[in-house]
Each structure stands twice: as C-alpha cells, then as structure tokens.
Amino acid sequence: MASNLKNLSDFSGFDIPCGKGMRIAVVAAEWNREITDALLQGAVDTLKEHGVYENDITTVRVPGTFELTFGAKCALESGRFDAVIVIGCVIQGDTRHFDFICDSVTQGITDLNLKYNSPVIFGVLTTDNLQQAQDRAGGKLGNKGSEAAATALQMVAVRDHLLRQQ
C-alpha cells in the first residue's frame, strides 16, 4: 500500500518487542528543525511506550542530514548503543543538491549497517515539498520517527535472536 494512503504510526499486526534494557541513540539533523523535532519526539515517545527507559535514550544533534552518517558512526564506535536511529528531512528544491544528499546519506547508512553489529535505522524523510514532510512528521500520515523507533526495537530483537542461534 502506498504510504500516502496509510498511517505510518499504525503498528497493529506488528510484534514490537519490549525495549527494556535497550540503549538507543537518536541522531537528528538540525536542518528543517520543525520537521526533525516532530520526528524526534515521535521516536522518543515510541521507544518509551515500548519499555525503553528515558535514561537509555541518547539524543545527538548534527547540523544537517548529510552529517547523520558521521553522527551515527560515532555513536556506533562508542559501543554504548544497541541501535542508532537517524532522523532527517530533505525537501526537493530547484537544484540537484537534493539528489546528492539523499544518495549520500542512504549509502552511508547502508554501509554502517554492513560494518557494525548494531542496526542503524533510516528515519529520513525525502519529500517533494514541506506539506509531504508535515504529513509524515505527526500529520495525517502518522510519524516516520515513531516508525523508525519501532523498527529499531524489531531489528535489535532480530539481531539478538540470530546471535543466540550460534
């Protein structure tokens, strides 16, 4: 189903594990702060709703979406976190800058997922306009930050399950 027809924060039918004892870093971009603040709040609220203690959630701010990869890498290298969520928003403009930023951060987060043993969750909006971003940051389509938090809990559980199988 297309995301423009579905509330992204509806987790009915999904098994979201309890996050008690998990330590999560949320790296959020300052750029488009109206949107990233809403995404960040959605992520933090969802983590707490699913048992992650507030003291086990660390928020790190970076200047923009391009810097999310480095912020996530630093969080991973600290060895303190079970998962890292990156939060950003890139809105299409009149130049190709949008394409370069989206491609770079997507590849960077993919590379981190392959290199480290803790999941890095992509909570970056890449929209055509501000309205689309608002709709996905607590508006009529839910909150992509909340979805990213639920995904983080699921992926930590997947990793832990598979490591126990060894």
Residue-range domain boundaries for the chain? 20-164
Angle between helix axes 68-78 and 97-115 (nearest 10 degrees) is: 10
pTM of model > 0.75: yes
Q: Which of 8-17, 44-53, 127-136, 138-147 is predicted with the least confidence, judged by mean pLDDT?
A: 8-17
The architecture of the domain spanning 20-164 is: 3-Layer(aba) Sandwich (3.40)
Task: Say whether 97 is catalytic.
Answer: yes
| pLDDT value, residue 94 | 78
| pLDDT value, residue 6 | 60
CA distance linking residue 125 with residue 122, whole number of Å: 9
What is the pLDDT averaged over residues 103-130?
96
Catalytic residue among 6, 20, 80, 97, which? 97
